[in-house]
Amino acid sequence: MQDVTDWAFLNLLQRYGGADVYFTEFFRVTQDSRLDPEILRSVTENPTGRPVVAQVIGSDIAALVRTARELQAYPVAGIDLNLGCPAPVVYRKCAGGGLLRDPERVDAIVGALRQAVTAVPFTVKTRVGFAEGGEFSRILEVLEKHRPDLVSVHGRTVAQRYRPGVRHDLIAQAVAELSCPVLANGDVHSADEAHRIWSATGARGVMVGRGAVRNPWLFTQIRQKGRGEPVIQPTGREVLAYVEALFEAVSDVAAREVDRVHRVKKHVNFVAEGAEATGRFLHDMRRSSTRKEFFRICREHLDHDAPMALEPWIREELES
C-alpha cells in the first residue's frame, strides 16, 4: 500500500506476529526513474526477518527490465509486477490496473520481465479486469503463457476500486487455469474471512493490505484459526497502544506537529473504520490537527477493556 506499508510500518507490524512474506510499496518505473531509496530500505534494512518481494509499476518495457535487473542485485525475495493499482493517477498513465485494458501490452511486459528475472521468483499482482470481469480470461491466458512463479488476484475490477463485491469465482478461475500458486486478495478483514476465501477459491494463501493496517493482529489470528486455537481479540486499550506506537513509528519526529498528525491519519483511517459503528470516530479524527486533539479523540473511543473485532462497520460508504 503506497505511502502506508513502508519500512517503519513493516517494522511495527512484526511486533504483532507479522506476515509470512511482505511486498514493498511499488517502485514507480519510467524511462528516467531510479530506485527509490526509501522503498529500497524495506529490502536493504529488512526489519521483519521474513522474505520481502520488490514491487514495480509502469508500462515502459525497457525501463521495467532495467529496474528488475537492478533490483536483483539486492536481497529481494522476488520481483512483483503490479497490474492492479486502481488509483486514477496511475491507471490514466496506462500503468498498474490501467494495463488491463491492453492485454497485448500486458503480454509484452510480462514476457520481457519473465526473461529478465532469473535470480529470484517473478510474480504478478492483478485485478480481475478494468471495467468488468469479461476480459479476465484473456489476462489469465497471457499469464499462463509466461509462467510467473506466483500470481496474486484482487477479486475486483479497477473501476470498482474498493466497493463491495469481491469476485471469489474469478479468483477460483485463476486457481484452476494457472499452473503457479495463486494468492487471493480483497476484503480479508478477519481470520474467518481468510478461511472462507481459501475454501471458496482454493487459493494457496491470502494477501492482506488494508485489513493488516486496521488490525495488526490479523496474521496471528489467521494462524490461530488454522491451528484450531482460540482467536485472540485485542482490547480497546491494546488498540489505543497500537495507535500510539503508529504515531511514533511512522511520523517524523523532526516534522511539524500538524504534519505528524496528518501522516498517522493515513493509517488510523483504517483503524477507525473498524473501531466505531457510527463513523464519528473517523469523522472527528480526520479533523484533528494537534497531537493532543488527535489522542483525545482516540482515547474517547478506545480507552476501554472490551474486545474489538476490528472489522469495517461502514464499508460501502467508506470505500465508495
Q: For 95-136, how does the pLDDT look when each residue is reduced to its tens digit (9 = 90+)?
A: 999 999 999 999 999 999 999 999 999 999 999 999 987 889
Could you tell me if residue 307 is inside a domain? no
Q: Mean pLDDT lowest for which of 13-22, 77-86, 89-98, 165-174? A: 89-98
Does residue 252 register a pLDDT over 90?
yes
* Separation of alpha carbons 189 and 286, rounded Å: 22
Which cell numbers hold the place of 306?
Answer: 472490551
Residue 309 lies in a domain: no
Q: Nearest 5 degrees, angle CA 307-CA 309-CA 310? A: 115
Residues in CB range of 287: below 8 A, 6 or more apart: none
User: What pLDDT was estimated at residue 175?
Assistant: 98
Minimum mean pLDDT range among 147-151, 154-158, 301-305, 315-319: 315-319
- Please give the mean pLDDT across all residues of the chain: 95
Q: Residue 71 is part of a domain; what is its CATH number?
A: 3.20.20.70
Read off the pLDDT of each residue in 34-40 and give the average, rounded to a whole number. Answer: 97
3-state secondary structure string across 54-77? EEEECCCHHHHHHHHHHHCCCCCC
Residues 56 and 151 in one domain: yes
Domain-located, residue 1: no
Q: In which domain, by residue range, is 162 found? A: 7-226
Whether 311 is in a domain gets the answer: no
Query: Does residue 188 sit in the same domain as residue 285?
Result: no
- Mean pLDDT, residues 239-260: 96
164 with 106, same domain: the answer is: yes
Average pLDDT for 155-184: 96
Cα(81)–Cα(59) distance, integer angstroms: 10
User: What pTM was computed for the model?
Assistant: 0.94
Question: Which residue in 85, 94, 180, 298 is the catalytic one?
Answer: 85
Q: Are 244 and 7 in contact (CB under 8 A)?
A: no
Residue where one domain finishes, among candidates 226, 244, 261: 226
Whether residues 111 and 260 share a domain: the answer is no
Residue 155 lies in a domain: yes
Q: Which residues contact 56 (CB under 8 A, 6 or more apart)?
A: 26, 27, 29, 64, 67, 68, 71, 79, 80, 81, 82
**Confidence category of residue 313, pLDDT binned at 50, 70, 90:** confident
Confidence at residue 316, expressed as pLDDT on a 0 to 100 scale? 43
Tell me, what DSSP letter sits at residue 229?
Answer: P
**pLDDT-derived band of residue 261, with 50, 70 and 90 as boundaries?**
very high
Statement to judge: residues 142 and 161 lie in one domain:
yes
- Identify the weakest region by mean pLDDT among 64-78, 244-258, 305-319: 305-319
Same domain? 245 vs 294: yes
Residue 319: pLDDT band (50, 70, 90) is very low
The residue among 201, 226, 251 that closes a domain is 226
For residue 240, pLDDT over 70 is answered with yes
Is 298 tagged catalytic?
A: no
318 lies in some domain: no
98 lies in the same domain as 183: yes
Q: What is the tally of structural domains in the chain?
A: 2
Percent of the chain's residues with pLDDT above 70: 98
**Rounded-to-integer distance, Cα 107 and Cα 162, Å:** 26
Q: What is the pLDDT of residue 314?
A: 57
Q: Are residues 151 and 271 in the same domain?
A: no
Does 221 share its domain with 255? Answer: no
Regarding whether 136 and 14 lie in a shared domain, the answer is yes
Q: 202, 226, 250: which is the final residue of a domain?
A: 226
pLDDT of residue 320: 34
Please indicate, yes or no, if residue 251 is contained in any of the structural domains. yes
161 and 242 in a single domain? The answer is no
**Domain-located, residue 231:** no
128, 252: one domain? no
